[in-house]
Structure 1
Amino acid sequence: RGSLDRRVTNRDIEVAFGTIPAGTCGAVCTRAAGVVNGREAIVIEHIIRMARDVAPDWLTSEFDATYRVDIEGDPDIHCAMNLGDAEGHGAGHAAMAATAMRVVNAIPFVVDAPAGLLSSLDMPSSLPRYAFD
């Protein structure tokens, strides 16, 4: 099951690509849940705010770009990560680069693979080459 929630900003917000006018979308929360036997087993939630004061009731952190992993179990595990710059226009840039790493490091395997569609399950684990050179 999934959901999408939006929050309106009550003021103009200046961002790198221009101005987000007051009265338009200033934050988005997407949520997807894998349900097993009627119970949510795995939940992924992604919150994007264009300013810290939009949607203050949603989960937040002290930094502009924080990635959290929360596992409820025995024991509970909670991890908050900031990749690269924690604040400002550069916040989140390192996370985007990390997302691309899997694809970039898979290029040699895709080139060597037979023609046809591949999934990540068809590929070996790709490790960065020359990481310590």
Structure 2
Amino acid sequence: IIPETVTLRGTTRHFQPHIQDMIDLRMKEVLKGVDISMGVITNIKYERRYPAVVNTLKETVDAIQAATAVAGKDNIITNIPLIMGSEDFAFMLQARPGAYIAIGAGMPRENGMFHRPGFDFNDKILTTGADYWITLVESLLH
């Protein structure tokens, strides 16, 4: 039995804002080809839900300097691979310059990853996080 209709759903992820335009265009081009080659009618509803998280340079440098002052150079990792997650902070970065950072709250080897039932927040990082924010604000006010 061949169904009369099919619904496909999914998400798209990208690292640069212009890629979303390219994804939208290419999906429409591919579906036009399916229409012609298969004699069907396709429709697409492409929703742009989450933009890419794109840090600004100055704010990233400021964040690294504050983190280094608090935790020491050996405890700062700046060359992490890009992550394909969806993050609400991306909307903030569209409106204002900023830097999305992680302070090491998770201990994945010991108690699971974020957004998982086994995740246990590392309470020991709270004072480090507070010290970071105080250091960052003080450095920006001077």
Give the TM-score normalised by the residue count of structure 2: 0.24
* More helix per residue: 2
Greater relative CO (CA pairs within 8 A, separation 6+):
2
Give the TM-score normalised by the residue count of structure 1: 0.25
Q: Which has the larger radius of gyration?
A: 2
* More strand per residue: 1
